[in-house]
Amino acid sequence: MVNVKRNLIEENALLRKTLEDIIIIKQKKDDTVLKMCEEEWQYLKRRVSKNTHKKYSVIKNIPCKNVDNVWAILKNLTDISNPTTTYREVVSALIVKYKLKVKIDAFNGGRNRQKFLFPMYYYPLKILHKLGYIYYSGSSIIVRLKFSRIKKVRI
């Protein structure tokens, strides 16, 4: 159990290091920009207003801890033989991890959308998708793409 926990901590540290190495990722198709700041990701999405047709930007600040937690949960729920998981499995693990007092159905409803769903689930998944760690299309199915093991480094 101690070795598994130590490996998980080392793997999260490696993920954090690789995320820190990537400063800006830009995708031309939907014009989304990810930017790594000190302890958070800035998820910038450019949109066009339906009424006035003016362009504007929406910036969401997502703590690195949320991205790390979602990645750890996805690693626990998936493996090479079964790389997919669902929304319900991830959300139930998030509820247990954060000790939230909401049920799975209430996680994404009403005032809980802004409080729980977007900062803890949606934006971390979008960040991991842009980095190429998972495939997430907005449906309830999430496919893990990265399965590489950590290379041990001698100190």
Q: Which one has a higher pLDDT value, 85 or 8?
A: 85
For residue 154, pLDDT beyond 50:
no
Domain around 57: 2-144
Of 34, 54, 36, 30, nearest to 44 by C-alpha is 34
Instruction: With beta carbons less than 8 A apart as the criterion, state whether 56 and 47 touch.
Output: yes
**Any residues with CB less than 8 A from the CB of 145 and at least 6 apart, and which?**
83, 132, 133, 134, 135
Is residue 29 domain-resident?
A: yes
Q: In what order do the strands lie in the sheet with 84-86?
A: 84-86, 141-144, 134-136
Instruction: With beta carbons less than 8 A apart as the criterion, state whether 105 and 95 touch.
Output: no
| Highest mean pLDDT: which range of 6-10, 16-20, 25-29, 38-42 | 38-42
Cα angle 61, 59, 41 (rounded to 5 degrees) comes to: 35
Structural tokens at position 112: 């809980």
Is residue 128 domain-resident?
A: yes
**Total domain count, the chain:** 1
- Going by pLDDT thresholds of 50, 70 and 90, the confidence category of residue 1 is very low
Average per-residue pLDDT in the chain?
79
As to burial, measured by CB atoms within 10 angstroms (0-12 exposed, 13-18 middle, 19+ buried), residue 59 is: exposed
- Going by pLDDT thresholds of 50, 70 and 90, the confidence category of residue 94 is very high
Of 153, 143, 155, 129, nearest to 82 by C-alpha is 143
Q: Which one has a higher pLDDT value, 143 or 14?
A: 143
Is residue 155 domain-resident?
A: no
What pLDDT, in 10s, does the model give residues 39-75? 888 888 888 888 998 988 888 899 999 999 999 999 9
Is residue 150 domain-resident?
A: no
Question: What are the residues facing 61 on neighbouring strands?
Answer: 42
- pLDDT for position 121: 93
Is residue 154 domain-resident?
A: no
What pLDDT, in 10s, does the model give residues 109-131? 888 888 899 999 999 999 998 88
**Any residues with CB less than 8 A from the CB of 39 and at least 6 apart, and which?**
63, 64, 65
